Amino acid sequence: NWTTGNVIEEQVATIREQVGDKRAICGLSGGVDSAVAAALVARAIGDQLTCVYVDHGLMRKGETEQVEKDFVAATGVKLVVVDAGERFLTALKGVSDPEEKRKIIGREFIRVFEQAQADIIADEGPAVEFLVQGTLYPDVVESGGGTGTANIKSHHNVGGLPEDLEFKLIEPLRKLFKDEVRMVGQELGLPEEIVQRQPFPGPGLGIRIVGEVTKERLDLLRDADAIAREELTAAGLDRDIWQCPVVLLADVRSVGVQGDGRTYGHPIVLRPVSSEDAMTADWSRLPYDVLARISTRITNEVRDVNRVVLDVTSKPPGTIEWE
Ligand code: XMP
């Protein structure tokens, strides 16, 4: 019979046997899947697992700390955090095109991750033979059910390492659906904020700033997003909405009147949607009083924002993200 306890017990035994006295690494994204996969493997092999978290500086407020502190506290996992914010900002300088942003963020991410990986491999200690991935059952079906090894190409020369590093994969969530993964995560004692997290795109806030990504704009968007999330959570709406991108129209200005006089600031867009699988979505009919609170707080508390607008477009025709 299916219980989270049985799933954990079975996976722990399998992983222990598979890994033996070798080592494994796992990339953490802050999302549910990689967090639960890592927690499960940590339960099985303890400090033979090293997790890597690349902080690209495009996360929302508090998310990096959640991984660094709460996740580590809950799992006892060995974690390497790479603070790469400056590097990503430099790479994104002058870039406004959405696909170009995605390409740059993806490329830099792989480079930083591989360097961290190489450093771990170069450590004293048993061979690193395994890579943990948070593949779910729907991903397995979509990709035709294949399993095996990950071939990770080295994009740059790392002292004395082979050009291609081959890892055996550990995918402890391969038979599970998303809601089951959340239940397993809960059973493993992961923080609620991680287990119940809504989807968030890999390129992060980088694709929620329409226009060039700068440090100032990221800070501003982080503040606005934190307010929206706080109010949605306080109103008990987290389970009703699929996700709510908060978008900064960095190249748009409009006239406002705030405090002592006229302002010429940026609009923030709220994009709450309901969806089953993100392929299609409907805009969420949020209560007006919640929208009013978010709008008042953002325009009061976030410098340079003088307007909050609501996106009432379904998908199709609009995608969920603005970029
Ligand atoms: P769209 O905007 O295409 O989004 O309607 C559908 C879902 O995918 C997420 N999304 C991304 N996730 N990398 C990701 O990992 C991306 O580049 C990306 N773009 C969109 C989006 O948040 C939504 O859940």
Ligand 1 binding pocket includes 321 (Cβ within 6 Å): yes
Q: Whose CA is nearest to atom 4 of ligand 1?
A: 320
pLDDT at 156: 37
* Phi and psi, residue 235, nearest 5°: -85, 0
Question: Which positions make up the binding site for ATP?
Answer: 29-35
pLDDT at 166: 83
**pTM assigned to the model:** 0.92
Give me the residues of the chain with pLDDT under 70, please. Answer: 145-165
- Antiparallel, parallel or unpaired: β 261-270 and 246-249: antiparallel
Question: Which positions make up the binding site?
Answer: 29-35
Ligand 1 binding pocket includes 204 (Cβ within 6 Å): no
pLDDT at 95: 98
CATH of 4-195, one of 3.30.300.30, 3.40.50.620, 3.30.930.10, 3.40.190.10: 3.40.50.620
Determine the distance separating the centroid of ligand 1 and the alpha carbon of 224, expressed in angstroms.
Answer: 20
| ipTM of the complex in this document | 0.99
CATH of 208-310, one of 3.40.50.300, 2.60.40.1190, 3.30.300.10, 3.10.20.600: 3.30.300.10
pLDDT in tens, 112-135: 999 999 999 999 899 999 999 999
Determine the distance separating the centroid of ligand 1 and the alpha carbon of 309, expressed in angstroms.
Answer: 21
Ligand 1 binding pocket includes 313 (Cβ within 6 Å): no
pLDDT at 161: 43
Domain limits, the chain: 4-195, 208-310
Long-range pairs for 104-108: beta carbons < 8 A, 24 or more residues apart = 105/56, 105/58, 105/202, 105/203, 105/204, 105/206, 106/202, 106/203, 107/155, 108/56, 108/84
